[in-house]
């Protein structure tokens, strides 16, 4: 089986990167993690990636005069590694239209909310403030607008009485670690494609999800 060469872009802790890398260690997983790139030299995820035996690189945005130069270096790094798919995993730089266009429908992101609700930062605080009863995470193809683009998959978790942002965030993060490897597998196997800016499945998912009811 041909495994799709996948790069992961991180800015910090890299727990989603670790989840993807762990999934890719399975022999029948359709993607291989060929490179982890951070825009921050001190990202903890770089250490973890190295421990897992994955090639790492740093493209420090602070070393470039403008976004175009930073992104040109990023693309050169990705191309050198023969990258076919790019996964954003806690990569906290907004990417330009040019970069997004260069990797059109080969660039995916995970966001800690049920999009289109709560784009941007502090999603768990905002979910609690809004009083929603379900929260979760989304994997989507990246478009130039922040946290926007055709949705590949979502995982929902209940908001529980007495939740703090930290407790809710931990519950969502555990769901992220389940969702992202499944979504990348769909993309790598070309079981999904974008039609009219919506994600279509070539074969329906094996098990239709049941209802997740959360009251209280």
CB 216, min distance to ligand GAR, A:
25
Residue 13 or 193 having the CB closest to ligand GAR: 13
Q: Residues 182, 183, 184, 189: is their CA dihedral positive or negative?
A: positive
CA distance 107 to 40: 20
Contact 92, 13 (CB under 8 A): no
Footprint of ligand GAR on this chain (CB under 6 A)?
Answer: 10, 12-16, 45, 89-90, 110-112, 147, 173, 176
Nearer Cβ to ligand GAR (78/172) = 172
Q: Closest distance between ligand GAR and the C-beta of residue 39, in Å?
A: 12
What is the closest distance, in whole angstroms, from the C-beta atom of residue 201 to ligand GAR in the complex?
A: 23
Q: Which is nearer to ligand GAR, 68 or 145 (CB)?
A: 145
CA torsion sign for 128, 133, 136, 140 is negative
Residue sitting closest to ligand GAR (CB): 90
The values of phi and psi at residue 88, to 5°, are -85, 130
Q: How far is the CB of 167 from ligand GAR (least distance, A)?
A: 14
Cβ 203 to ligand GAR shortest distance, Å: 27
- In the block, tokens 């996964």 appear at 87
Using omega within 30 degrees of 0 as the cis cutoff, is the peptide bond preceding 116 cis? yes
Q: Is 111 a catalytic residue?
A: yes
Cβ atoms of residues 31 and 61 within 8 Å = no
Q: Which of 104, 111, 124, 140 is catalytic?
A: 111
H/E element, 78: helix 67-80
In the chain the first and final C-alpha atoms are separated, in Å, by 47
Q: In whole angstroms, give the CA distance from residue 182 to residue 20.
A: 9
CA distance 126 to 28: 39
Kindly tell me which of 12 and 165 has the beta carbon lying closer to ligand GAR.
12
Nearer to ligand GAR, 79 or 134 (CB): 134
Catalytic residues: 111
């Amino acid at each position: 089986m041909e495994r799709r060469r996948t790069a992961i872009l991180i800015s910090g802790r890299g727990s989603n990167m670790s989840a993807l890398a762990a999934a890719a260690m399975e022999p029948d997983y359709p993607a291989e993690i060929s490179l982890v790139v951070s825009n921050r030299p001190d990202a903890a995820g770089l250490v973890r990636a190295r421990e897992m035996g994955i090639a790492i690189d740093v493209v420090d945005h602070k070393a470039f005069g403008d976004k175009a130069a930073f992104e040109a270096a990023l693309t050169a790094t990705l191309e050198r590694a023969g990258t076919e798919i790019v996964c954003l995993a806690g990569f906290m730089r907004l990417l330009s239209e040019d970069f997004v266009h260069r990797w059109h429908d080969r660039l995916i992101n995970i966001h800690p909310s049920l999009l289109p609700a709560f784009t941007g930062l502090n999603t768990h605080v905002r979910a609690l403030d809004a009083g929603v009863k379900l929260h979760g995470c989304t994997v989507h193809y990246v478009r130039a607008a922040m946290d926007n683009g055709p949705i590949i998959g979502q995982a929902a978790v209940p908001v529980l009485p007495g939740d703090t942002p930290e407790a809710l965030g931990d519950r969502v993060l555990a769901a992220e670690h389940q969702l992202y490897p499944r979504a990348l597998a769909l993309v790598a196997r070309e079981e999904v494609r974008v039609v009219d800016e919506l994600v279509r499945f070539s074969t329906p998912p094996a098990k239709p999800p049941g209802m997740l009811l959360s009251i209280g």
